[in-house]
Amino acid sequence: MPIDTLDTPERFRARFPSLKDTVHLASCSQGAASEHMLAALQEFQWSMRSHGAPWGEWMVQVDAARAAFAAHIGATTDEIAVVSCASEGAYQVASTLDWSRRPGLVTTDMEFPSIAHVWLAQGGRGAQVRHVPDQDGIVPAAGYTSAIDDTTNLVSIPLVSYRNGVRLPVTETVRAARAAGARVFIDAYQGLGVLPVDVRELDCDYLVCGALKYLLGVPGIAFLYVRDGVRDEVAPQLTGWFGRVDPFGFDPRSLDFPDTARRFETGTPSIPSAYAAAAGLRTLAEVDAKDVEAHIRELTAYAHRRLTEAGETLASPADPELRGPQVAITDAAPDALAAALGERRIVTSPRGTLLRVSFHYYNTLSDVDALIAALGEIRDK
């Protein structure tokens, strides 16, 4: 643990100025703004005002974000590529696989569409996509294991589904993929930051996550973990000057790729996003991941019980072992419901037919009580 830890949710919450007048229950879409992150964005603005074009200083921030992300998941910095978004990371992985050799690509209906669309687009290169269906919003381990065979090249599984917050059977799926000689890609976007993740324990080949949600950053930057020792069957098809052995060599006639994960990088990264990502990850480094997970479990259990008692229909699993940091409410008009809650300074995230209510370490039981009270007012109208 760091020496200066924010060891309680209350101390952690004090880092977020907006929570004084806002109930933020939308970390599955965008995390609340911490004082660290706001100060970092001001620092970026001041760097432009003071120095004009301080590229050396900016690259320090990109590398700081890379290093902080690596530390957060138990990786090395050489295993992390800085990309613009999770979709770009997924494409980079897919582009390096030879689908003519092993055409199978196993994914799930609970995958976020942006990632799922990247997989579908590989059909033109010979990939054969197999979808593991959900059963009432839950994906059983047997669904994945039965879809994996010796023709499978890549298995894609989210850590937590964006749709209803269900946790996917990652451990069993990785084990089955390994036995079949397939690679594993994990989308950790809907859990990393509030659920402990160690890529050595997961034993995955690739993991992607953006900074804007539970990692407490802003849009415009994501990180792709590529396990050391993974070899590309095809060179990355999307590239740029940051994907070179020496980006600052400025050689327009040389196309070399480093052995590290940086071979998956392309053009200039979003510098403001790098400042914010480094700040968000610094904030998370001040708390113990296991404490965060325990607090999230308490909040989601309380929310699930209170919402059920209030007569709400929930799409998220009742089993706490299957529930991530989100509780999903079924509603005929979730956008209108989110707007009504927003008028009461309660921020939520509608998707499809669901209103997603998500929790971070800064949330409290009183946030749930405020949500229940507001829903009661809205439903009674």
For residue 102, the one-letter residue type is: R
Q: What is the pLDDT along the chain (381 residues), one digit of tens a residue?
A: 344 566 799 999 999 999 999 999 999 999 999 999 999 999 999 999 999 999 999 999 999 999 999 999 999 999 999 999 999 999 999 999 999 999 999 999 999 999 999 999 999 999 999 999 999 999 999 999 999 999 999 999 999 999 999 999 999 999 999 999 999 999 999 999 999 999 999 999 999 999 999 999 999 999 999 999 999 999 999 999 999 999 999 999 999 999 999 999 999 999 999 999 999 999 999 999 999 999 999 999 999 999 999 999 999 999 999 999 999 999 999 999 999 999 999 999 999 999 999 999 999 999 999 999 999 999 987
Q: Which of 316, 279, 281 is nearest to 296 (CA)?
A: 316
Q: Tell whether 171 and 225 lie within a shared domain.
A: yes
Residue 71 resides in a domain: yes
Contact predicate 355/9, CB 8 Å: no
Q: Residue 4: what pLDDT?
A: 54
Q: Residue 2: what pLDDT?
A: 41
Q: In the listed set 262, 284, 306, which residue is the last one of a domain according to the structure?
A: 284
Q: Tell whether 128 and 139 lie within a shared domain.
A: yes
Euclidean distance between CA atoms 317 and 335, whole angstroms: 22
Q: Residue 156: what pLDDT?
A: 98
Could you tell me the residue range of the domain that residue 101 belongs to?
44-284
Q: Tell whether 17 and 163 lie within a shared domain.
A: no
Q: Which of 142, 140, 85, 151 is nearest to 118 (CA)?
A: 85
Q: Tell whether 102 and 235 lie within a shared domain.
A: yes
CATH code of 19's domain: 3.90.1150.10
Q: Residue 261: what pLDDT?
A: 98
Q: How many domains does the chain have?
A: 2
Euclidean distance between CA atoms 316 and 314, whole angstroms: 6
Q: Tell whether 243 and 319 lie within a shared domain.
A: no
